[in-house]
Amino acid sequence: MTESAAAPRPGPAARLRALPTQAQDTLLVLAVAAMSVAPLLPRLPAWAGLFSLALLLWRGSLAWRSRPLPSRLLLAGLLAAAVAAVLLRYHSVAGRDPGVCLVCMLLALKLLEVRRRRDAYVVFYLGLFCVFAQFLYAQSAPAAAWMLACTLGWLTALIDANLPGRRPPLARRLGLGLRLIGLGLPVMAALFLLFPRLSGPLWSLPDDARARTGLASDMDPGAIARLALDDSVAFNVRFLGRRPPQSAMYWRGPVLGAFDGRRWSALPPYPRGRGASPPTLHGLGEPVRYTVTLQPTQRHFAFALDAPASAPALSGQPGTQLRLSHDLELRSNHALSQVTRYTLDSWLRHDGEQPEPAARLRAYTRLPAGDDPRTVALGRELARREAAGGPRAVAAAALRMFREQPFRYSLHPGTYTGPDAIDQFLFQRRVGFCEHYAQAFVVLMRAAGIPARVVTGYQGGSENPVDGLWVVRQSDAHAWAEYWVAGSGWLRADPTAMVDPSRIDRSGQTLDAAEPLLGLAMLGPRDATALRWLRNLGDAVDQSWNDWVLEYGQTRQRRLLRELGLASTDPARLGGDAALSLGLLLALGGAWLLWRGRPRRDPWQRAYALLCARLRRAGVDAPPTQAPAALARGLGPDPRLQGLRALLMELELARYAPSGADARTLRRLAWRAARVPIPRRADRAGEALRNGEALRTSRADHDAGDTMRRDSS
């Protein structure tokens, strides 16, 4: 076996170091581009994401193997295909989703034709636009941190493109990028605090262009079960007083009264002026006061503890207002597309009848004709059997059936289809999630002639031990029922609590151990303390981000400026103040850069110049151009100058030794140069030095005279 065959192949790290500088820079840009595009991949069509990743991998392969770039003709064909695909998918290139999709593919394509510096700058602009595009979808603290890392990567790549010659190590280039970001932070803070906040967003998108999350405005069996797998935060709550027990926390959302045999939806709204106003509730006990921070849902409803006393004022989305409907729903006039906040009071117990028109009550008793005959027959039987007790007795009998018969609560009950879906659930399989139990109870009550409806929302929640806030997650989604009793109004009934009471008691822990929390199931057991602590910490950081950044709107800006003594909050005045602050910061930054770039003397020269200046003040002729060793020899043998002579010899060694001196040694020498004892000008050391110099001069003159006399003779 030859020596070359026996030599081991170099590893990837060695091959990377052996690549040309341009290839290494290209791989860095590709890595940053992948970081910028990665968060957008779930928002892109699958073919667009695969197309972009394939182009990035292709460009990386060319750089790794030092192969030439593809022809412009091929790239033109790929560009035409990308634009055509976007047009076929979105029928336009304008708008958020088509624009982001096209920019991601353009970034990958442009990386395949970077031949000049101008092409590199175009790549940087496209990459920074991809970074900006993340905030069109998410504005959370983790998203902002990731975007900051991507910005640092693009700045480092931009530094590489402008560095001539040999590159410093990557860590130093990253440090320079961090310094540039640090220089921009004061300007960013000034603009964030002082730039006039508008009454509306800087841009607007149609509601159908945004992804809707959380509970829907309607319900079909299985929808909430799918939502229970989502461990993300729906909203946070800060209780401004006593906190009710978990079992009493029913966070009211959409009220659904129309049923077509498969899907539940809301009844048409009341005609204006006819029962459209919210009912007057007579609360029992003290109301619960709390503040809700709601995550964006793109829906037209918010959530409140059952039952809200009045509609609260909404902050965080200018121009959007909440109103309290007759069904005690919090409805908004615009889709809730941003993090919003509101403070309100709720009565957990109340009395007094809520007036309902007769036509409305009849609508709450309608059932699809011919569907679920066995369930309808059971409801009528309950009505006959409990006729003396009225609606309360019928409801109690239905709930007792769920509690005593072998019904099971499960996240995966399977599907119930057909016109007898509820019959299958009640009389055959008897396995379901909360929406199955809620709709079965409502159908039973309607079959008994009692108005009933489904209410969806969330139940319970859990306390975050990091910041003490109450966290309600998507996995806490729940559905329950309400039925009408004359003289008392709508009463809540939760058949799920009859089947599995622990579902209500352990709210905030999602499901039992057999159906673990999805966010932790992939990493370990559900009761893993460390993982839960990390999740709670992330929730607390997100909430602080919402409080201090996303919630900084027009109202908070005016309050802050008043506290700073700026009485006027006129937008023109604020714009002028922002421009003045920006100019001042730029001037200070320029002055600092000039000061940093001033010519600097060598540390050794500063120390030696200081010592020579002190010697001259003592009456000793010590020019800075004279070597330290020559100056030490000229001081003579005076024992009082021994420390000075030693310092001069150390300075000589530090300057001319082959290894030189480190920064610590130079600092120590400078400290000694400022403090070493030097006799003043009247002392004998100075005189001895001057006399010695005069004696040497006279001897030199005498020798020169003797030489001249010998030459003349």
Which sequence positions are flagged as catalytic? 434, 478, 494
CB 474 within 8 A of CB 232: yes
Check whether the bond before 694 is cis (ω within 30° of 0).
Answer: no
Residue type, 701: D
Alpha carbons 347 and 243: distance in angstroms, whole number? 12
Q: Which residues pair with 409 in a beta bridge?
A: 432
A 10 A CB-CB count for 469 gives 20
Classify 471 as helix, strand or coil: strand
Alpha carbons 459 and 440: distance in angstroms, whole number? 19
Helix, strand, coil percentages for the chain (3-state, nearest 5) = 55, 10, 35
Residue type, 48: A
Reference 239, options 204, 195, 290; nearest CA is 290
- Longest CA–CA span in the chain (Å) reads 158
CB 293 within 8 A of CB 235: yes
- CB-side exposure of 98: number of CA atoms within 13 Å? 15
CB 36 within 8 A of CB 130: yes
Residue type, 246: Q
Q: Which residue shows structure tokens 């509820």?
A: 422
Alpha carbons 506 and 240: distance in angstroms, whole number? 23
Alpha carbons 636 and 376: distance in angstroms, whole number? 121
First-last CA distance in the chain:
89
